């Protein structure tokens, strides 16, 4: 089931960039969750194109519609279907893509795999597919918040690097607020860096070029015990979730690649008692040990490559095996990283809800057996 994610809170997405609609079916959603279209729309609006002058000008309202699974304002526990109609069809703009493989896009590989592809706007490989993920993630996020009323679980992603411009390390000490993240179009909570990033993106756009970047995601309030070794470790499922996003090239948790250059005596997170509970003094583990959350903040980073679409002529090959040239035209998103922030949060929320349900199923139901 390549288009399904999760084991208990399962999310199946469907839809092509220029087909009639995109959507998602959630199977296993807990019943009785209060839910409105606005809960979903708020997150969709964060990923929508056309929000600022540094992202793609594609104008889509992306209005979500509930098709099933919600009754009188609450989830029913049955399969929950949502759909967003595709409004902005300009398929004529894509006629060149029917035959030519765009470099570093999925045109060639979809053709190789399936022997057929919807070439319009990338078809199924378009990032427009992530609308379904964000819609489902909004429900997961609401579940996580409602389930932790006293110390709410918070999933916060933000941009730490665009091209070679990175937030200063000391600025990463604090857990950024949503307002700080949303303060800039680039979703970097460090204002000076954010300003430079925006300028860089504008400059690159004027060159018809693109840039990549890095998103960090932190989660507060995760209870110890989530994660399912040996294969469905929490970090393994987070890694899969992130590498399943378009344009991602890397994932690291806690100390990450830098940790590989440390000694054990530097890297180990020593335990101590704090506020009556077991905590670690440092968090090089990134909130996960042995594949299971340890109650500390979960911290991971995701690397995004520069957008493959650029407005410059590029040599390529066509479907008939002839070398040719492709010239990007029209709309162009010089940096997808800021818009990926809500998508990273959505996927993280989906992983956490799913693991929480799995943990509860195995260790919650029969936990008093032995008394």
- Other beta carbons within 10 Å of 341: 23
Compute the least distance from the CB of residue 128 to a second copy, in Å.
Answer: 11
Q: Give the nearer residue to a second copy in terms of CB position, either 174 or 315.
A: 315
Compute the least distance from the CB of residue 52 to a second copy, in Å.
Answer: 20
Compute the least distance from the CB of residue 179 to a second copy, in Å.
Answer: 26
Residue 193 CA to its chain's centroid (Å):
22
User: What is the β-pairing status of strands 298-304 and 292-293?
Assistant: unpaired
DSSP state of 206: H
Compute the least distance from the CB of residue 181 to a second copy, in Å.
Answer: 19
Residue with tokens 């609401």: 142
Distance CA 234, CA 43 (A): 24
Q: Strand pairing partners for 316?
A: 324
Compute the least distance from the CB of residue 174 to a second copy, in Å.
Answer: 23
- Tokens (6 digits) for 14: 């469907």
- Tokens (6 digits) for 317: 């090959």
Q: What is the CA radius of gyration of the chain?
A: 21
Distance CA 293, CA 205 (A): 41
Compute the least distance from the CB of residue 370 to a second copy, in Å.
Answer: 5
Q: Give the nearer residue to a second copy in terms of CB position, either 179 or 273.
A: 273
Whether the Cβ atoms of residue 185 and residue 52 lie closer than 8 Å to each other:
yes
Q: Give the nearer residue to a second copy in terms of CB position, either 192 or 207.
A: 207
Compute the least distance from the CB of residue 295 to a second copy, in Å.
Answer: 7
Residue 32 CA to its chain's centroid (Å):
26
Compute the least distance from the CB of residue 170 to a second copy, in Å.
Answer: 21
Q: Give the nearer residue to a second copy in terms of CB position, either 179 or 261.
A: 261
Q: Give the nearer residue to a second copy in terms of CB position, either 184 or 280.
A: 280
Distance CA 321, CA 49 (A): 34
Whether the Cβ atoms of residue 142 and residue 35 lie closer than 8 Å to each other:
yes
Cis peptide leading into residue 230 (ω within 30°): yes
Q: Give the nearer residue to a second copy in terms of CB position, either 177 or 362.
A: 362
Q: Give the nearer residue to a second copy in terms of CB position, either 32 or 92.
A: 32
Nearest to 162 by CA among 369, 310, 293, 338: 338
Whether the Cβ atoms of residue 299 and residue 283 lie closer than 8 Å to each other:
yes
Q: Give the nearer residue to a second copy in terms of CB position, either 44 or 84.
A: 84
């Amino acid at each position: 089931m390549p288009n399904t994610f999760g084991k208990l809170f399962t999310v199946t997405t469907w839809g092509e960039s220029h087909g009639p609609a995109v959507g998602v079916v959630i199977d296993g959603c807990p019943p009785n969750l209060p839910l409105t279209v606005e809960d979903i729309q708020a997150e969709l609006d964060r990923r929508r194109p056309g929000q600022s002058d540094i992202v793609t000008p594609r104008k889509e309202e992306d209005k979500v519609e509930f098709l099933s699974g919600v009754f009188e304002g609450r989830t029913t526990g049955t399969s929950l279907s949502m759909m967003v109609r595709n409004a902005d069809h300009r398929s004529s703009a894509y006629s060149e893509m029917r035959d030519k493989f765009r470099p570093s896009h999925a045109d060639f590989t979809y053709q190789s795999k399936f022997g057929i592809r919807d070439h319009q706007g990338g078809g199924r490989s378009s990032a427009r597919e992530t609308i379904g993920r964000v819609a489902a993630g909004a429900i997961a996020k609401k579940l996580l918040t409602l389930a932790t009323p006293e110390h709410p679980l918070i999933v916060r992603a933000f941009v730490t690097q665009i091209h070679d411009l990175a937030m200063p390390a000391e600025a990463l000490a604090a857990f950024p607020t949503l307002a700080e993240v949303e303060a800039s179009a680039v979703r970097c909570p460090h204002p000076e860096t954010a300003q430079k990033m925006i300028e860089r993106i504008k400059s690159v756009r004027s060159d018809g070029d693109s840039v990549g970047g890095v998103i960090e995601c932190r989660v507060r309030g995760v209870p110890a015990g989530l994660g399912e070794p040996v294969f469905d470790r929490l970090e393994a499922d987070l890694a899969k979730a992130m590498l399943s996003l378009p344009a991602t090239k890397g994932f690291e948790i806690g100390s990450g690649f830098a940790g590989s250059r440390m000694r054990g005596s530097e890297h180990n997170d020593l335990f101590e008692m704090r506020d009556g509970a077991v905590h670690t003094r440092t968090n090089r583990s990134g909130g996960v040990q042995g594949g299971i959350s340890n109650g500390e903040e979960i911290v991971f980073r995701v690397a995004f490559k520069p957008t493959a679409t650029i407005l410059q002529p590029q040599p390529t090959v066509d479907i008939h095996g002839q070398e040719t040239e492709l010239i990007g035209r029209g709309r162009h998103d010089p940096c997808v990283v800021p818009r990926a922030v809500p998508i990273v949060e959505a996927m993280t929320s989906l992983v956490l809800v799913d693991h929480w349900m799995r943990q509860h199923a195995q260790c919650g139901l029969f936990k008093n057996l032995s008394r």
